[in-house]
Structure 1
Amino acid sequence: MSAGGKPPEADAASEPTELDAIDVFWLPGEACDGCSISTLGATDPPIEDLLRGHVPHLPQINLHHHELAVESGTAYVDGMRDAVAGERDPYIVVVEGSVPNERLIDGDGYWVSMGKDEQGDPIRTVDWLDRLAPGAAAVVAIGTCATWGGVPAAQGNVTDAMGTMDYLGRDYRSELGLPVINVPGCAPVGDNFIETVAHLLLHVGGFGPPPELDELGRPTWLFGETVHRNCERGSYYEEGDFAEEYGSEKCLVSKGCWGPTVKCNMPSRRNIEGVGGCMNMGGKCIGCTMPGFPDKFTPFFKKPPGSKVSTVSSSILGGIMSKLRQKSMKNLDTSTRWENPGLTERMYQWQLKRGSNYDPDRGLERRPGGKTGDD
């Protein structure tokens, strides 16, 4: 889908007005906090620059994070109460972790909560999401748990966990007309998330278009290609040269890599500051950015369906192509000076060099008025 949505109404001839600051409310769900750690490792730009307002045209972020905030207790949840009351517009909601089905609990109890109400009762995370999402400029789900449900939503889970888009609905739209923006990964690349937020902030401030999203709400420039297309091992697949054991530099499809069917930019962007990444460090892709993770990719060390057909056919065709390329490489790895010229070439050289100051038989230069070394 093209991420519709329009920036706040303004005179077309007027310049965008830069926001001084914007509140970002980070809601915890069922998660391991790995997405928060991943965000802290981002470098392009680093989260510190956003928090201090050092990125041109981007507002300073007032981050309300349950583990990084200085405030606690009532002082912490007051910011969210103000946002619900319309006193913090515009604001962004970030969801980390899957959303549990609180309707399963009959009576007292809850799956996930944050803060307490005036009566001292815990406020469930889903209640905060219900209150904040309608007025948010955007809702961003970070990590596979928040986007699709992830590990907490695996078969047999007792909480009926789900992704943010499943909870709010596919037809949900923010104040700016945006669907839930999904940045999957377990954990996601920190720079993928920060870049998406930066793009979103430019749009909120009126300096840029809305982020381009696919039909599942993923940024297309980050998740528009498969792992395989950008993998440094992809050329081995093309030539049918597969790894026989882990630690090999060759293609890992033979070992159960899901790269040809998984949308992720890990091979090209890598993990932190251009370093790391599953395939770059010798690991195979297990599909952690996809909605079917983990159930449709387990057991992780089992080969994907069709991998046998894929590897055998690629080995046959790739083997032929490899031999042809080696022959071409041998030819191109030889200078024309090193080859024995044919009759046509010799006649051409004779015609070209006849009467010149060059002795084609000896390869020695005849300098006018001078002699060669052997004359």
Structure 2
Amino acid sequence: MALNVRVEEVHVVWMTAGLSCDGDSVSITAAMQPSIEDVLMGAIPGLPKVQLHNPVLAYEVGDSFLSWWYKAERGEIDPFVLVVEGSIPNEKIKKEGYWAALGNDPITDQPITTCEWIDRLAPKAWAVVAIGTCATYGGIHAMQGNPTGAMGLPDYLGWNWRSSAGLPIVCVPGCPVQPDNFMETLLYLLYQAAGLAPMIPLDEALRPTWLFGHTVHDGCDRGSSYEQGEFATEYGSPKCLVKLGCWGPVVQCNVPKRGWMAGIGGCPNVGGICIGCTMPGFPDKFMPFMDEPPGAKISSNAISVYGSVIRKLRKLTNTTLDKEPSWRHTRPELTTGYQPTWGQ
């Protein structure tokens, strides 16, 4: 299907057969902007009708559920959006067995591997979306020493891969994904399918730019503590968490700004360090967790000197601003500086 050709109905075929915990499927049930219910019930103006096929959320089971996968493969539910959850194992590195699969082939009665499903469905999909860090960049399963050769969807299909409509893979990372981040991205793609939105803007890591264009630090409630050189030395402190291992200043993520549910939460905002779960280098490049990041030692020491001066200057200014002007009094003279221009 050509890009931006208005459609009346879109199917969302959601694979959770990768290496994952299904945490992303669970996470999106908490979305509110928009909620998954609003999208499926047609409560949002301008959207095509949406049919969701997710094994965690579906009421169908067995062959009835898998029939949608075969319909997608045969082109009977065009257009459809393929959502992939979980990292992709490398099925080529072993002589027998399989790492991950979903259902059995009706002809051979052998398990259909996750890789085979992706090979069958991705070329037919109007858009392909990787949800969560496992699907986007490999995540925990792809860390050094893993036995499965796991990888993210762009590694499997290729970073320059394009869907049948010419869209790149759309990556919405997070461990798990922030619920509104994913639903907002899906909403954008549905509007694009309806001919009501331009090509989705993505960064070099294939993340939506409006969601991942700023760092954790940019939206963190503790950002002012960093600026003033006030750092926590133990958990429970309201000060900046950099010295406890927070990577927020260099991690692309909007969770502190957006919150987790209803604008509330977000890792550093509620006392948890940022471990970089939305980044392609996660987890290996952010380990060991809870140790002060190497760059933070230099920057925090430099900011401590600057911050101490800033704190003193601000305290001095605060003492003058925290007092009322002298002309507010009950004495019988006017001392506001008012100069009458009439009646003299």
Aligned to 2:339: 352
Whether the 8 Å contact between 1:243 and 1:255 is mirrored in structure 2 is yes
Q: Which of 235, 255, 269 pairs up with 1:266?
A: 255
Give 3-state SS (helix, strand or coil) of 1:289's partner. Answer: coil
In structure 1, what is the Cα distance between the partners aligned to 2:230 and 2:103? 56
Q: Which residue of 2 aligns with 1:116?
A: 104
The sequence identity of aligned pairs, in percent, is 50
Distance 1:252 1:30 in 2: 31
Report 1:188-227 matches (<5 A): 188-227=177-216
C-alpha distance in 1, partners of 2:254/2:343? 59
Specify the alignment match of 1:7 in structure 2.
4
Q: Secondary structure at the match of 1:248?
A: coil
SS at match of 1:216: coil
TM-score (norm: length of structure 1) = 0.85
Aligned residue type for 1:33: D
1:244 equivalenced with 2:233 (yes/no) = yes
* Counterpart Cα distance in 2 of 1:206 and 1:183: 22
> Which residue of structure 2 lines up, in the alignment, with residue 362 of structure 1?
none
Structure 1 segment 90-129 matched on structure 2, within 5 A = 90-107=79-96, 109-118=97-106, 119-129=108-118
Of 60, 64, 67, 1:71 maps to 60
Amino acid across the alignment from 1:58: L
Normalising by structure 2, what TM-score?
0.93
SS at structure 1 position matched to 2:156: helix
The one of 10, 18, 22 aligned to 1:22 = 10
Which letter maps to 1:26?
W
Residues 335/82 of structure 1: CA separation in 2 closer, same or farther (3 Å cut)? same
Q: Residue 335 of structure 1: CA displacement? A: 2.9
Q: CA deviation at 1:354?
A: 10
* Residue 159 of structure 2 is aligned to residue 166 of structure 1: no
CA contact (8 A) 1:98 1:162 kept: yes
* Counterpart residue type for residue 320 of structure 1: V
Deviates more, 1:167-176 or 1:157-166: 167-176
Deviates more, 1:195-204 or 1:324-333: 324-333
- Residue 155 of structure 1 is matched in structure 2 by 144
User: Per the alignment, in what secondary structure is the counterpart of residue 233 of structure 2?
Assistant: coil
Q: SS of 1:162's equivalent?
A: coil
CA contact (8 A) 1:96 1:141 kept: yes
Task: Give the Cα separation in 2 of the matches to 1:202 and 1:57.
Answer: 7
Structure 1 position 284, deviation (Å): 1.1
By how many angstroms is 1:267 displaced? 0.6
Write out aligned runs for 1:272-287 (5 A): 272-287=261-276
Per-residue deviation, 1:355: 9.7
Q: Extract structure 1 runs of 4+ deviating beyond 6 A.
A: 353-357
Q: Which amino acid aligns with 1:352?
A: Q
- What is the CA–CA distance in structure 1 between the aligned matches of 2:65 and 2:295, rounded to whole Å? 52
Provide closer, same or farther for how the CA distance between residues 319 and 60 of structure 1 changes in structure 2, counting only shifts above 3 A: same
Partner of 2:126: 137
Whether contact under 8 Å (2:273, 2:290) holds in the other structure is no
CA distance in 2: counterparts of 1:283 and 1:79, whole angstroms:
41
**Paired residue type of 1:90:** P
Q: Which has the larger radius of gyration?
A: 1
Distance 1:135 1:18, change over 3 A: closer
Query: Which of these residues, 302, 317, 338, is aligned with residue 313 of structure 1?
Result: 302
Q: Cα offset for 1:356?
A: 7.5
Structure 1 gaps, min length 5? 9-16, 340-345, 358-375
- Let me know the Cα RMSD of the aligned residues: 2.2
Distance 1:284 1:338, change over 3 A: farther
Is the Cα–Cα contact under 8 Å of residues 267 and 277 in structure 1 kept in the other structure?
yes
Q: How many aligned positions are there?
A: 337
Cα distance in 2 for partners of 1:206, 1:224 equals: 25
- Structure 2 counterparts to residues 11-50 of structure 1, below 5 A: 17=6, 19=8, 21-28=9-16, 29-50=18-39
